[in-house]
Amino acid sequence: MKTSTEILSQKTKKHQSLNYRDSKWGYLFIMPMLLGFLIATVFPIIATFAYSMTNKNMMSRTTDFIWLENYIKLFSDKTFKNTLVQTLQFTLLLLPTNLILTLALATLLKDKFKGCGFFRTAVFTPVVTSVVVWGVLWKYIFQSDNGLINAVLRMVGITGPQWLMNVDLAIPVSVFVTLVKGLGMNMIIFIGAMLEVPRDYYEASSLDGATKIKQFFYITLPNIAPSIFLVLILTTIGSLKVFGQIKALTEGGPGTSSYVMVYYIYQTAFKNYKFGYASAISVILFLMIVALTLLQWTMRKRWVYYED
C-alpha cells in the first residue's frame, strides 16, 4: 500500500517535472516569433497612434505633441475628403463586379472536365503577377496615343478617350485592372466552398424538377453564404489597401482624382514628409480594417453556431 502511493507520487513528480521542462521549451520556441512580432508589428502600431498626435515632420525636424489637432485638420481637408470618396467609389465599383464574375467563373469551372485545370490556371495567372508588372502592363495598354485599346478603337473608327488622364475614368480604369487581377483568388475560394455543398441536395432537387438556375439560387448561394461574406470583407479590405496599381497607372492623378487611402498616406508621409498627419490617416485606415475584421469574426461565429 505504502509503496504504491510512493510510486504514484514519484510518477506525478516526474510528470510535473516533464511538464515544467516542456513549458520551458514552449516559451523558448515562441520567443523569436513573439519578440520579433512585438518589435516589428505591435510597437509600430502603438507608435502610429502616438505619431498621429504629434506634428512630426521630417523636413522641419519637429516633433511636438498636439493632441487631436491632426484629426481635426482631417475634417476640413478637402483632399482627404476626396480620397475617402474615391476609396468608397473604388470599393463600390469593385465589390459587385468582382462578386458576380467570380461566382460565375466558379460555377463554370467547379466541376472537373477536360481542360478545367488549364482554364483555372489561366484565370489565376494574374494573381501571381506582381502588382507593378500588372499596373505597368495595363498602363501601356491604356495609353492614349499608342495603347492597344485606343488603337483597336481607332481601327473601327472611334477616337478613344484619354483613359488615364481623364478625371472621370481614372478610378473606373483602376478598378477594372484590379478586378481582372483578383478574379482567380476569389474564384478558387468559391470553388472550394461549392464543392463542399452535399451532392444529394442537387440530386434531390433535380428529381423535383428544379432547373440549374433555381438550384444555383436556392441551394448553392445559401450554402456558400459564409464564403460570400468572407470574400466581400476580404475584397473590401483589399480595396481599402489598394496602392501599387494606382501608383503605376495614374500616380493618383489627374490632379488628385485617383487618390486612395494608402496613396494619400504615401504622398503625405514620404513626399511631403508630414509623418504626424500621415499617421492620423493611417489610424483611420487601421480602424476601418479592424472594424471589418471584427465584423467578419463575429459573423463567422454566428454561422458556426448555426451549423452546430
Partner 1 sequence: MKIEQMTSKQLKSRKQMKKFLKYLVCILVAAVMLFPMYWLFTTSFKTATNVAKYPPQWWPNPWTLANYKELFMKRPFIKYLWNSIYVAVLMTGGVILFSSLAGYAFAKIKFKGNNILFLIILCGMMMPIEVTIIPIYTALSGLKLADSHVGLIVAPMFGYCGAFGTFLMRQYFLTVPTELIEAGKIDGASQPLIFVKILLPMAISSISTLVIFSFLQSWNDYLLPLVLLSDSNKFTLPLGLSLLSNEDGMKWELVMAAATFSTVPILAVFYMCQQKFMESLSMSGLKG
* 35 to 25, 28, 32, 39, 150: CA distances (angstroms): 15, 11, 5, 6, 53
Residue 30, interface with partner 1 (CB under 8 A)? yes
* 169 to 17, 20, 245, 253, 297: CA distances (angstroms): 69, 64, 15, 11, 35
Residue 213, interface with partner 1 (CB under 8 A)? no
| Angle 104-108-113 from CA coordinates, rounded to 5° | 165
Residues 175-194 that bind partner 1 (CB under 8 A): 180, 183-186, 188-189, 192
Q: Work out how close the CB of 31 gets to partner 1 at its nearest, in angstroms, rounded to a whole number.
A: 8
Report residue 54: phi and psi, to 5°: -125, 170
Residue 42, interface with partner 1 (CB under 8 A)? yes
* Helix (H) or strand (E) segment spanning residue 277: helix 275-307
State which of residues 169, 244, 258, 267 lies at the interface with partner 1 (CB under 8 A).
244
Residue 65, interface with partner 1 (CB under 8 A)? no
Site track 279-298 with partner 1 (rule: CB under 8 A), x = hit: x--xx-xx--xx--x--xx-
Residues 92-151 that bind partner 1 (CB under 8 A): 105, 108-109, 113, 115-134, 136-141, 143, 146, 148, 151
- Which of these ranges, 66-74, 90-98, 161-169, 244-252, lies near partner 1 under the rule CB under 8 A? 244-252
Residue 44: CB atoms within 10 A of its CB come to: 13
* DSSP conformational letter for 197: S
State which of residues 1, 155, 207, 213 lies at the interface with partner 1 (CB under 8 A).
155
Residue 8, interface with partner 1 (CB under 8 A)? no
